[in-house]
A = this chain, B = another copy of it.
Amino acid sequence: MKSAASAMSHDDTQETGVPQIRDAIREAIVERRLSPGTKLSESDVGNLFNVSRTLARAALQALSYEGLVSVEKNRGAFVAYPSPEEARQIFAARRLVEPGILRDAAARVTPSDIQHLKQLLLEEGRLMSERGQTARRAEIKASGDFHLTLAAISGNAIMQRFMEELVARSSLVIALYGQSTVSSCGHSEHGDIIEAIESKELDRACHLMLHHIAHIEADLDLRERKSLGLKEAFEL
Interfacial residues, chain A to chain B (CB-CB below 8 A): 58, 61-62, 65, 67, 86, 89-90, 92-93, 96-97, 100-101, 104, 156-159, 162, 166
22 pairs from A and B in contact (CB 8 Å cutoff):
A58-B58, A61-B61, A61-B62, A62-B65, A65-B65, A67-B158, A86-B157, A86-B158, A89-B156, A89-B157, A89-B159, A92-B104, A92-B156, A93-B156, A93-B158, A93-B162, A96-B97, A96-B100, A96-B101, A96-B104, A96-B159, A162-B162
- How far is the CB of A227 from the nearest CB of chain B, in Å? 22
- How far is the CB of A99 from the nearest CB of chain B, in Å? 9
A101 to B92 CA separation, bound complex (whole angstroms): 10
A159 to B165 CA separation, bound complex (whole angstroms): 12
A67 to B158 CA separation, bound complex (whole angstroms): 10
- How far is the CB of A143 from the nearest CB of chain B, in Å? 21
A89: chain B residues at CB < 8 Å are 156-159
Interface of A is mostly: helix
A158: chain B residues at CB < 8 Å are 67, 86, 89-90, 92-93, 166
Q: Which 5 A-B pairs have the closest CB atoms?
A: A96-B100, A65-B65, A93-B158, A89-B156, A89-B158
- How far is the CB of A147 from the nearest CB of chain B, in Å? 15
A92: chain B residues at CB < 8 Å are 104, 156, 158-159
Please give me the residue from chain B that is nearest to A100 by CB atom. Answer: B96
A58: chain B residues at CB < 8 Å are 58, 61
Please give me the residue from chain B that is nearest to A160 by CB atom. Answer: B89
Taking A58-B58, A89-B156, A100-B100 as known contacts, 16 extra A-B pairs with beta carbons closer than 8 A to each other, sorted by chain A number, are A61-B61, A62-B65, A89-B158, A90-B158, A92-B104, A92-B158, A92-B159, A93-B158, A93-B159, A93-B162, A96-B97, A96-B100, A96-B156, A97-B97, A158-B166, A162-B162
